[in-house]
Amino acid sequence: MQVIHANCRVQFTAEDMDFITSVLGKKKESMAFLVSLLTDMDTRDLILDDDMLFHALLEQRGCLRVSPHLYFYVLVRHVLRQSGLEDRSVADYVAELLTEFSREERTRCILRGQLQPMDYFFEMLAALQTADDYTAFCLRAHIGNHSLFFSGVFPERIRARAEQRGFPGLQYYRELGRASFRAASHHRLANEFDLAPIFNTLSSRFEPTRLALNDLAERVFSLGDHEIPQFFKG
């Protein structure tokens, strides 16, 4: 099981840069200047906050020639800011979470040396009882990520399963997600991976973050049974 890091912004591609300059560089002579600004972290972050990028990603038809890292960062950053969450590192982490979980196999919990994945919270919580230090940290983080992703992107699916089949409802996801991020934030490895402040924020602001993802899902996702559609080239 791999730890998710807040590193969307360092994974942008050349095509991402081309997309940004095509949207924001209205004149040819300004494109070179814009590219130079994108190489500086502070000015890059200000450029990525431009609402024109957000609307361009939402409104462009067909297959986008951008990476999921740029796509999810710009959209997540926008909806989190609207919810009052200004911390870019949190947006970076949540965007990377969506990028990773857009591949269905990444949503499944597979421990080292274990052949069968764990798909249910009760299995993950039981595994915590015998897990070593590193695995326990990964499990806590994964439970938090899993709770935020599914309650944020697929809330209607959770409601339907709770009503029709007696599965846990949104309140369970909220409480388990908050508790898991809080426990992960106190783990020694959270400081080592520079995740402690992010996990602490996601614990204390779990519900606003979840609702921001609800808003994002309504805008861009086809909320089917268990699938994020493919927006990207490749």
What's the pLDDT score for residue 69? Answer: 94
Q: What's the confidence (pLDDT) of residue 199?
A: 98
Lowest mean pLDDT among 33-47, 77-91, 183-197: 33-47
Q: Is pLDDT at 104 greater than 80 in this prediction?
A: no
Residue 36 has pLDDT above 80, yes or no: no
* Summary mean pLDDT of the chain: 85
- Residue 84 Cα distances to 79, 167, 191, 232, angstroms: 9, 31, 25, 29
117 vs 132: CA distance, rounded Å: 18
pLDDT at residue 61, rounded to an integer: 65
**Better-predicted residue by pLDDT, 192 or 233:** 192
**What number is the average pLDDT over the span 168-187?**
95
* Range from 103-112, 154-163, 164-173 carrying the lowest mean pLDDT: 103-112
- Which of residues 139 and 28 earns the better pLDDT score? 139
Rounded average pLDDT over 187-211: 97
For residue 194, give the nearest of 26, 1, 2, 3 by alpha carbon: 3
Nearest to 184 by CA among 146, 228, 150, 223: 146
Q: Assess contact for 15 and 69: CB atoms under 8 A.
A: no
Q: Token digits for 225?
A: 């049974």
What percent of the chain shows pLDDT beyond 90? 52
pTM for this entry: 0.87
Packing angle, helices 170-185 and 133-153, rounded to 10: 140
Range with the lowest mean pLDDT among 49-63, 89-103, 111-125, 203-217? 111-125
